[in-house]
Amino acid sequence: MNLYEKISAIMADVQYLAKDDKVEFGSTKYKALSEEKVTSIMRAECLKYKLVVFPVSQCANRSGSITHVDVTYRMVNVEDPEEYIEIASCGDGADTQDKGSGKAMTYAFKYMWLRTFAIPTGEDPDKISSAELDAKQAAEEASVPCAGCGKKITDGKKRDGSPWAAADIVKYSSGRFSRPLCPGCQRKAFQAEKAAEGEGA
Ligand SMILES: [Zn+2]
């Protein structure tokens, strides 16, 4: 694979990174994506596809307690070392002591991954609610196939139109029909029971 095919393959592998960190100071509270999570996932991808990434130049300047760093990373195709691209990134780190450039580098490194591979993290509150995506992802993972039609049971509606959560659909049908059934297949099972009763009578 060439470098761009590898980047595409990694983009296919890593579709979304959910925030894993809670940042709290004073009355401020928000969810964040840790550098540790991004680095460990992207590191594994780089090993899998034989890519190496390292900084080739950096320029830091400090004003007050904020250190700004501009970094250029080089991404090399291990299978063809002549093939590489350079990626610009930057970061700011707030520190009154000597940790500012380290924090800025950490930030720049994390954003290099997120931007190069166009990984959504739910940072844009107008477009993606990460809590919503996490919930969807969890629901997808927990979803059970219908014993009738084989399709995964998803959130649906009761006969009166009120919402019916997938987990409740599974619970209800497992009790009522002894197997997980989607609302459509429940209706069929119910009709089949009625028809059987009618024949018996
Ligand atoms: Zn079904």
Average confidence score pLDDT of the chain? 87
pLDDT score recorded for residue 130: 56
- Give residue 60 CA to ligand 1 midpoint distance, Å: 60
What's the whole-number mean pLDDT along residues 69-93? 96
pLDDT tens column, 11-51: 999 988 888 887 776 666 777 888 899 999 999 999 999 99
Taking ligand 1, which is a single-atom ion, which protein residues have CB atoms under 5 Å away? 146, 148-149, 182, 185
Ligand 1 centroid from CA 131, angstroms: 28
Find the 171 Cα to ligand 1 centroid distance in Å. Answer: 14
Mean pLDDT in residue range 86-90: 96
Expressed in angstroms and rounded, the spacing between residue 130 Cα and the centre of ligand 1 is 30
End-to-end Cα distance, the chain: 69
Phi, psi of 200 (to 5 degrees): -65, -35
pLDDT of 153-188, one tens digit each?
888 888 888 889 888 999 999 999 999 999 999 999
Q: What pLDDT, on the 0 to 100 scale, is given for residue 167?
A: 86
Using the mean position of ligand 1's atoms as its centre, give its distance from the Cα of residue 199 in Å: 25
- Domain boundaries, given as residue ranges, for the chain: 3-142, 156-200
Q: How many whole angstroms from 161 Cα to the centroid of ligand 1?
A: 18
Residue 123 confidence (pLDDT): 58
CA 36 to centroid of chain Cα atoms: 15
pLDDT tens column, 98-155: 889 999 999 999 999 999 999 988 755 444 455 566 666 666 666 789 999 999 888 8
Alpha helices in 29-154 (DSSP H): 35-49, 100-116, 130-142
In whole angstroms, what is the distance from residue 148 CA to residue 179 CA? 9
Residue 181 Cα to ligand 1 middle (Å) = 5
Which two three-digit tokens encode residue 176? 């009522």
pLDDT in the model for residue 126: 45
CATH topology of domain 3-142: Enolase-like; domain 1 (3.30.390)
